Amino acid sequence: MELKHLTGFVAVAEELHFGRAAERLHIAQSPLSQQIKLLERDLGVKLFDRTTRTVRLTPAGQALVEPARRLLADASAVRRTVRAAHLGEVGRVTVGFAGASSYSALPLLTRAVTSQLPGIELVLVGQTYTGEALRRVADGSLDVGFLALPVRRGITARVVRMEHLMLALPDSHRLAAYPEVPVRELAGEPVVTFPLSRESAVREAMVQACHDAGFAPRIAQEAPDSYTMLALVGAGVGVAVVVESARDINLEHVVFRPLVGEEVPVLPIALGWRTGNSSAALQAVLRVAEEVLPTPPGVGV
């Protein structure tokens, strides 16, 4: 039983499902019809009942549809795996991530790698903020990481997202009535943010923006991740400066407003890897990343 005959059978069965197969099956000498006849001869059963007006699957044909689909899918996976091995696209790639930016981007990358590079295993390392990611990429304990610019010497980076800063606040907060919130309005407000030890680029940007506006932020509590931070905001512990991607995290009683002012930067979020890392698996993952996480227009890095 040849796969190309199964391919023809499945194609006709699917077209028949949508009412489009009868005309094709009546072309007796067509390659597709010949494939089906050869498959029927090989199996020793009739797969279709044909009349001058109708075509329908026999019970044997109905029983074959799902196994044939699975067999073709398995054959396709085998081809991809063999091709990956031939190209060196096998192995393990460790990916560091943290924060809402990577929460949004990471699923796009992992799904694409799973689909296109079946020979590569992605090892995901969470709560790896920019400072730690830079160190671990440099020392080789991470292959690639989501991080904020700038990067240190010896690391190559490509921007995959530009993040505007937002203010997350309880829906009952006075600033929730503002369409956008100037940085100066944060003076005196209790703020929830990432721990200083995490070396978060978002925390650094928030602190710098407040200092540029003439005050120091009042840190009320620290949170290890974006979900916990927003939960604390919803509980009324304080407000939080977050990236725009955090709006994808839906929690009750939390609203988001753009943070504005000359002091407010736009954060470039990048994928960073050690310059000169020639791992075929890493290079394959980076190629896939360029497809699903392209550099935003107008960004040069």
pLDDT for position 92:
92
HSE, side-chain direction, 13 A CA sphere, residue 142: 26
How many residues make up the chain in this entry? 301
pLDDT for position 34:
79
Q: Residue 218's beta-bridge partner residues?
A: 190
Could you give the CA distance from residue 125 to residue 104 in angstroms, rounded to a whole number? 15
Buried b (16+ CB within 10 A) or exposed e, 4-40: ebbbbbbebbebbeeeebbebbeeeeeebbebbeebb
Give the 3-state secondary structure of residue 263: coil
Report the chain's C-alpha Rg in angstroms.
28
Residue 241 near residue 165, CB atoms below 8 Å = yes
pTM equals 0.68
- pLDDT tens series, the chain, 301 aa: 667 777 777 777 777 765 555 555 544 446 777 778 888 888 888 888 877 677 788 888 888 888 888 888 877 777 766 666 656 568 899 999 988 888 889 999 999 999 888 889 999 999 899 999 999 999 999 999 999 998 989 999 999 999 999 999 999 999 999 999 999 999 999 999 999 988 899 999 999 999 999 999 999 999 999 999 999 999 999 999 999 999 998 899 999 999 999 989 999 999 999 999 989 999 999 999 999 999 998 776 5
pLDDT for position 27:
47
pLDDT for position 90:
82
Q: Omega of the bond prior to 150 within 30 degrees of 0, cis? A: yes
Q: Regarding beta strands 254-260 and 181-182, do their DSSP bridges make them parallel or antiparallel, or are they unpaired? A: parallel
Could you give the CA distance from residue 236 to residue 249 in angstroms, rounded to a whole number? 17
